[in-house]
Structure 1
Amino acid sequence: MLGICSHEPHFALLREEVKFGRQKFRIRKHRAKVDEITFHLLHLSLLREYLSWEFHSLKEKLPFDYNLESVIDDWILMGFLIGNDFIPHLPHVHIHEDALPLLYATYNEVLPQLDAYLSSKRTSNAWKKDAFTSNNDEQSFNEDLEVFDLSNDETNKVTDIGITKGAFDSDSNASDECEEITDQRTLTSTKAVSHGYFGLDKDSDDDLPVASLDDESYENDCDLSWTAVVNKAFKNHKRDYYNDKMKYNNISKEELREQAEGYIRAIQWNLHYYYHGCCSWSWFYPHHYAPYISDVSDFAEMEMNFDLNEPFKPFEQLLAVLPAASADCLPPPYRELMNDPKSPIIDFYPEQFDTDLNGKKNDWEAVILIPFINEDRLLQAVAVKDSLLTDEERQRNMHGPHLLFSYDPSSSHILKSTFPGIFPDIQDCAVKIEKIEMNQFRIPRNRIVHGLLPGVKLDVVFPGFPTLKRIPHIAELLFADIKLFQQPSKNQSMILKIGNRPELEKDIMEIASDLIGKEVHVNWPMLQAALVQELWTAHEKYSKAADEKIICNALSEQEQNMYKTYVNITRRNEFERRGIDAGQQKGLALVRLAHGLRKYFEEQKVLIKRFYADINNTIPVSLSLLVQNAQEDWDSKCALEDLYPINAKVFISSVESKYYGFSGFIKENHLMTK
């Protein structure tokens, strides 16, 4: 999220492979060594393009200009709704229950009805967009509707809660309520009939009028009745939520607004944190639960100012977040604040407390129902203990500068170990340390560039930064059983369907002449260089003869069986692993992957050539996934002094040299012969 909100397309994240499965069947015999760990790169350049397809339908629907960078900002904002380290998730919004597809579908449906994106200049307009917030809540509720028995008296009656006016106590009569919500109906009149709902409810004074018994009027009446029942159930459900979770007995409009204001402020703080840096060190979300997003509305004029204040000192921060069981992480005087029964803040560290899964599946996802830290009380308690700290502890409990470590050969010195006997001294440490003022990286907002940087190139191939743009394609969300994390996906996946390629509609012999012996790029969209060795069809293979002419030979029976195997392998790899539908193929290309570059010396010139896998180590690739002319021509011949200028730093890469891996500097750059 932080990476993609930078709007820097040439960005990749390195992380370990994630493996899922039942723990009892995954007994780890030993700690994995570094060379046994599989690492993956998450290419944000590709994530950006997949997001573009996710919201592609908006291009033709919006009343304002479509802008992918603004869509990405809205995507980040929607991500906050499922919760993060600073804010709880919305009610019934869980990733494992398809919350994200629901949010995206709602966004695609509602954004064309608005006059701007949900976020503008990285501040939230979401609370102004009532259509988005209410639509999302209603869809979530309707998806869960099957678990409610709407014929139950407890669900459909208003509890006697005294004279206090509740936020969900409606003054409108039944017919008006129906008119307000008919556009939101999601269930059929057939289901209304099956539940026996011909009027609004048992306590209603008037049933909806049935003007006639013709089918259309009858279904309209049933739809209105059923929609009113659902709407009333939703209100009662929300009333119960605020009562059960937040202990509001029939929450009032004022209390609901207070909840909503807190949530809006939380969204705004998160947006500032992502785009501008921390706008307040003292702010925190003061509730264990979030309100329903449909209750967060009509706050266009709300003030959104934050006080920056000061961050906690290191030990203060630990006192604010650690449980009493971790008191040993603190100096002895502060430990007493956590475990001494007479401590003035002992109530911050309860030994017994409740947890609430709140719709989650795993224990570690549960809401921990402990009191929130009162900053003033914490600092007052800490101040009493400050004088008991040692000088070393007091030094550790200070805000310091940033430390910049850089290589400096002129500053060679011996660096003493901080753990003698465990780590040795560094005898020749050529690193200097530069102190940078604490607020050096707090950039004024008017200097922050929102969106893409000027001059960024999106349509060129940079090695290591893949793109989908080199092959014509469309994308579609499908249930496709893509193998992800060692098991088939259960939800929809974005499938890339390869479009028509005129260069492949020619005769197969002409295609073979264009490709064989030529360099292409494979493994789209990653784009790895390869050399085309042969072309195979179901019955023939095309190759280059000694005289450089393209020849065609019939496949033997064994080769025909191999071709069938190749087709199955490529389809499985392309579709099941990568979500690419290459379509029907005229044939397959057998290619040799590029393994690197070699340098050949001719007098004072250096010839650079790519070398490929052995001729017997070809791999099959679908013709429609070959990319030609992906990179601009690079200079394969250059002068020796240009490749190795005087004083340039180099590394010895020959494994035959006893200095393999050592670095050095070019002193002379003329070719020497033995």
Structure 2
Amino acid sequence: MGVPTFFRWICVRYPKVIRDTIEREPVEMDGRMVPVDLDEDAPNGDFDNLYLDMNGIIHPCCHPEDGPAPEDEEHMYENIFLYLDRLFRIVRPKRLVYMAIDGVAPRAKMNQQRARRFRAAQEREEMEREQERLRQDWEAEGRTLPNRTAGKVFDSNVITPGTNFLHKMSEAIRYYIHDRTTNDPLWQKLKFRVILSDANVPSEGEHKIMQYIRLQRAQPDYDPNTRHCLYGADADLIMLGLATHEAHFSIIREVVIPKSEKKCTLCGGTGHVASECTGEGDDADDSIAIQKPFQIVSLPVLRQYLQLQFAELVDRMPETLLYDFERCVDDFVFMCFFVGNDFLPHLPSLSIRDGSIDQMMALYVEILPSLDDYLTDCGRTNLAQVEQFLEYLGGIEDQVFKNRLEREAKMRAERQEERSKEHADEGNVGAEGGQGQGGQMGGDLAGEGSTADSFLPKEEASDTSAFHAQLLAQSFSMDFENLETPEPPAKRQRQEPTLEPPKPKENKAKSGKVVDREFHMALRDRLNNRQDLGEAMPDTVRLGEGPHWKQRYYFEKFKVKQDDLVDFLQRIRKAYVEGLCWVLVYYYQGCPSWTWFYPYHYAPFASDLIGCGNLKCGELTYFQTGQPFQPFQQLMSVLPPVSAEEAGIPAAMRELMKQAFSPLIDFYPVDFGLDLNGKRFTWQAVVLLPFIDEPRLLRILGPLLAKLKPHEKIRNRRGNELVFGHKQDKALFHAVQLAQAAFEAGHAGLKQTVRDRYLFGALEGWQGGGANREVTSPIEGLPDVEESHCISAQFTDPEGVPHTSKLLPGISEQPLVVNAADMDEGSRMKGFGGEPARKLIMQALGKDGRRKRYQEAM
């Protein structure tokens, strides 16, 4: 899902799911930071397996939000190593670590990746042009100019499968595993196994992790009380964790720190970040890196909340449809797809901020007993029941949009009132402080207080594009917000005007650092102003306004003619419902089709999905699996031309992205549209790029892929997972040695089975496998591993078995920490429009809108 608002919604509705981690200060031992007491109990509870969604580590370590940009790739590797060390000290897994880097994604995800990367390149160009204009303005004013950025800005688009960057990153992580296994005291104590699934193994990192968990838990000797901990920041990890139906599953993630509590990496002060620092100190340490604290999300506790929320269904279900909490969990996951996921645009009438999840849950509890079946069945979508569910959501769409228009009008009025007050304050300041000085002060206030934050709900307020911020951070070695996890920064506090005239500035020479900082801040403000297009691009569709708002939506967004509207609605209904079914299978059984994608930039209305009960796409066998793209095929699908050379795309393929008469040139527009779609800021816009024509792309690339050089073929190959362990791991050591001996004897493909309750699969030797390897360091200054204590082999999962939505027998349930009183807590339902949204659906159902007390349901 990747929806920041969803995580905040979870924290408000179910506050006990979150707990802060305990992090002991490590000590240095032989040049390594290790826990103070290696023999103490794990401070954050016992965990068997730790799963790492590595892209969530690679991105912030390569272009950090709260610290200086790395000097080079080696510095990035060091950042990643230190971040991993810190996670291991906190979690201390006892059996397994699974490291998953995003591989080639399904086509359904590539469209989002393509939009992000093209927009990132566009924003980089916008920033560079604005930066040059600002330099010219400063030069014309006779001001001291900042130093031009040394070196080039890191292009985060290279964090894509098939690039030189990720190929070298995989080699660096393999070195890290060998080094820590051999030399790190904590690793030597725990002796956990490591599986590395790098970018040459297809599928997104989190879905490779889920596939591994599903296949392991299907084995007869699997330990049902395995304690899982998954690292990652995306909100969809909560849904994926619930979908496993494992009894002990937690997520560890960084705490999102409000700007008011952040520490400046330049002056060391709090209340601002380095990009907003106005300190005069010139001796600040630019090398400071901020360590955010971690928090753990307990899915067993979330399940306890959901059990209470669904409890009244226990006595209301008919004899023909028994109550099954595990299936209710699956239906909850499915309902959340409607408000946002990485593969489909959300339904126009549904929004987490407007209370849509609360609304859907209230509707679900009311109507499930009359539906004859649940909405889903372990990846299968029961479309007849889904259609009945959607009928209710579609029936209130008109009122939802009208309510939204009223809220927006109210916020605009409040915003105008605030502006009027600011203008009045500016006049007072001018009268007290003198014409010239007052005018300058008024300008400063307008820049600080006239942000568009007041126009939007607090959760959506933002004063900059996160990608612009990332570029600024790299350009000036300062921090700003980060695009890959595009959670908007907290609302800035407006400074009240002072009646004292500002003191004249001293005419002293400014240091280079101060000049750079002032230039950075001026550039940031210019970019902020470019982001706010609320006045320049007003919403012309105005959903809910007048009698024909649905037609306006389809005519303007999809360019549909009146005569074609009926046929078009049938096509988009089928496409969107296929998408819902595709996502559900992906979450529960693995990728159902590598080639399917939703072919529109916008979603239909819930009311226009009525009729979906007659479609066949809910069946698990509906989709044709197909094959994933090769890495270079994905690079040509998602990267803009400006990132092609840095990514290592071969020259002949780069020409296809640039030549005017290229048969693929229409895939790479120099300019493309942005549709705010009723929003205000460009970072919220829909990116209107043409979709890739897969048959044409593969046909044109075929001859070029056949001529790749050997080192390019390595990057374009489809790889295998690798398993690593300590040579004292006798069960694994024996199987690895047999597999490696077969490999070195020329028996490629001969595999050894490993099956010891903690790991099930097959092993095969490889060129870097076996034991006692010498591993070269990828970082100057870090030593080679002369004789590694690590053993390794290629790893293959056991044969696929259908995943089941049930708790396994023999589990030990965690103690209850949630009770009925927690559900009645008044603060729990505040914010996110929960109660108004719930009342709206209850009125549509003919209910009085009063909430049932959870005590009565127990």
Matches within 5 A, 1:557-576: none
Once the two structures are TM-superposed, the CA of residue 58 in structure 1 deviates from its matched residue by 2.9
State how far apart, in whole Å, the 1-side matches of 2:378 and 2:404 are.
41
Matches within 5 A, 1:634-649: none
Once the two structures are TM-superposed, the CA of residue 42 in structure 1 deviates from its matched residue by 0.5
State how far apart, in whole Å, the 1-side matches of 2:272 and 2:832 are.
22
Question: What is the letter of the counterpart of residue 111 of structure 1?
Answer: L
Cross-structure match for 2:725: 406
Q: 2:817 aligns with which of 460, 468, 481?
A: 468
State how far apart, in whole Å, the 2-side matches of 1:232 and 1:325 are.
41
Q: Is the 1:141–1:234 Cα contact (8 Å) retained in structure 2?
A: no
Q: Is the 2:356–2:834 Cα contact (8 Å) retained in structure 1?
A: no
- The worse-fitting range, judged by mean Cα deviation, of 362-371 and 313-322 is 362-371
Cross-structure match for 1:397: 716
Deviation by residue 1:511-566 (Cα, 9 ceiling, x = unmatched): xxxxxxxxxxxxxxxxxxxxxxxxxxxxxxxxxxxxxxxxxxxxxxxxxxxxxxxx
State how far apart, in whole Å, the 1-side matches of 2:374 and 2:350 are.
22
Cross-structure match for 1:306: 623
Does residue 1:27 correspond to 2:273, yes or no? Answer: yes
Could you say if the C-alpha distance between residues 121 and 26 of structure 1 is closer, same or farther in structure 2, counting changes exceeding 3 Å? same
Q: Is the 1:337–1:344 Cα contact (8 Å) retained in structure 2?
A: yes
Which structure shows the higher strand fraction?
1
Q: Is the 2:777–2:785 Cα contact (8 Å) retained in structure 1?
A: no
With normalisation by structure 2, the TM-score equals: 0.43
State how far apart, in whole Å, the 2-side matches of 1:118 and 1:453 are.
22
Does residue 1:428 correspond to 2:792, yes or no? Answer: no
Gaps of 5+ in 1: 150-230, 462-466, 483-487, 494-674
State how far apart, in whole Å, the 1-side matches of 2:657 and 2:333 are.
38
- The worse-fitting range, judged by mean Cα deviation, of 334-343 and 24-33 is 24-33
Once the two structures are TM-superposed, the CA of residue 289 in structure 1 deviates from its matched residue by 1.1
Question: What is the letter of the counterpart of residue 242 of structure 1?
Answer: Y
Cross-structure match for 1:320: 637
Could you say if the C-alpha distance between residues 268 and 481 of structure 1 is closer, same or farther in structure 2, counting changes exceeding 3 Å? closer
Could you say if the C-alpha distance between residues 477 and 259 of structure 1 is closer, same or farther in structure 2, counting changes exceeding 3 Å? farther
Aligned to 1:103, the other structure's residue is in SS state helix
Instruction: Determine what percentage of the aligned residue pairs are the same residue.
Output: 32
State how far apart, in whole Å, the 2-side matches of 1:234 and 1:77 are.
32
RMSD, aligned CA: 3.1
Question: What is the letter of the counterpart of residue 823 of structure 2?
Answer: E
Cross-structure match for 2:607: 294
State how far apart, in whole Å, the 2-side matches of 1:442 and 1:280 are.
19
Aligned to 1:15, the other structure's residue is in SS state strand
Question: What is the letter of the counterpart of residue 322 of structure 1?
Answer: L
State how far apart, in whole Å, the 2-side matches of 1:75 and 1:325 are.
42
Once the two structures are TM-superposed, the CA of residue 74 in structure 1 deviates from its matched residue by 0.6
Q: Is the 2:592–2:623 Cα contact (8 Å) retained in structure 1?
A: yes
Which structure has more relative contact order (CA 8 Å, sep 6+)? It is 2
Does residue 1:416 correspond to 2:775, yes or no? Answer: yes
Matches within 5 A, 1:78-227: 78-126=335-383, 128-146=385-403
Q: Is the 1:477–1:492 Cα contact (8 Å) retained in structure 2?
A: no
Cross-structure match for 2:435: none
Q: Is the 1:259–1:291 Cα contact (8 Å) retained in structure 2?
A: yes
Q: Is the 2:384–2:614 Cα contact (8 Å) retained in structure 1?
A: no
Cross-structure match for 1:51: 306
- Flag the structure with larger Rg: 1
Once the two structures are TM-superposed, the CA of residue 14 in structure 1 deviates from its matched residue by 0.8
Aligned to 1:287, the other structure's residue is in SS state coil
Cross-structure match for 1:40: 295
Question: What is the letter of the counterpart of residue 347 of structure 1?
Answer: D
Could you say if the C-alpha distance between residues 232 and 430 of structure 1 is closer, same or farther in structure 2, counting changes exceeding 3 Å? closer
Aligned to 1:90, the other structure's residue is in SS state coil
State how far apart, in whole Å, the 2-side matches of 1:5 and 1:89 are.
21
State how far apart, in whole Å, the 2-side matches of 1:374 and 1:51 are.
43
Cross-structure match for 2:77: none
Once the two structures are TM-superposed, the CA of residue 147 in structure 1 deviates from its matched residue by 6.5
Which structure shows the higher helix fraction?
2
Once the two structures are TM-superposed, the CA of residue 255 in structure 1 deviates from its matched residue by 2.0
Question: What is the letter of the counterpart of residue 55 of structure 1?
Answer: F
Question: What is the letter of the counterpart of residue 45 of structure 1?
Answer: P
Does residue 1:241 correspond to 2:588, yes or no? Answer: no
Aligned residues: 394
Q: 2:686 aligns with which of 353, 360, 367?
A: 367
Matches within 5 A, 1:457-496: 457-458=812-813, 460-461=814-815, 467-468=816-817, 473-476=820-823, 479-480=826-827
State how far apart, in whole Å, the 2-side matches of 1:277 and 1:347 are.
32
Could you say if the C-alpha distance between residues 232 and 387 of structure 1 is closer, same or farther in structure 2, counting changes exceeding 3 Å? closer
Could you say if the C-alpha distance between residues 120 and 235 of structure 1 is closer, same or farther in structure 2, counting changes exceeding 3 Å? farther
Once the two structures are TM-superposed, the CA of residue 89 in structure 1 deviates from its matched residue by 0.6
Could you say if the C-alpha distance between residues 143 and 299 of structure 1 is closer, same or farther in structure 2, counting changes exceeding 3 Å? closer
State how far apart, in whole Å, the 2-side matches of 1:235 and 1:122 are.
39
Q: 1:343 aligns with which of 657, 662, 674?
A: 662
Q: Is the 1:338–1:346 Cα contact (8 Å) retained in structure 2?
A: yes
Could you say if the C-alpha distance between residues 146 and 297 of structure 1 is closer, same or farther in structure 2, counting changes exceeding 3 Å? closer
Aligned to 1:342, the other structure's residue is in SS state coil
Cross-structure match for 2:672: 353
Once the two structures are TM-superposed, the CA of residue 325 in structure 1 deviates from its matched residue by 2.4
State how far apart, in whole Å, the 2-side matches of 1:265 and 1:324 are.
32
Once the two structures are TM-superposed, the CA of residue 341 in structure 1 deviates from its matched residue by 2.5
Could you say if the C-alpha distance between residues 49 and 31 of structure 1 is closer, same or farther in structure 2, counting changes exceeding 3 Å? farther
With normalisation by structure 1, the TM-score equals: 0.54
Question: What is the letter of the counterpart of residue 827 of structure 2?
Answer: A
State how far apart, in whole Å, the 2-side matches of 1:46 and 1:386 are.
50
Aligned to 2:612, the other structure's residue is in SS state coil
Once the two structures are TM-superposed, the CA of residue 148 in structure 1 deviates from its matched residue by 6.7
Could you say if the C-alpha distance between residues 407 and 480 of structure 1 is closer, same or farther in structure 2, counting changes exceeding 3 Å? same
State how far apart, in whole Å, the 1-side matches of 2:248 and 2:357 are.
25
Q: Is the 2:327–2:805 Cα contact (8 Å) retained in structure 1?
A: no
Q: Is the 1:281–1:309 Cα contact (8 Å) retained in structure 2?
A: yes
Once the two structures are TM-superposed, the CA of residue 319 in structure 1 deviates from its matched residue by 1.3
Aligned to 2:396, the other structure's residue is in SS state helix
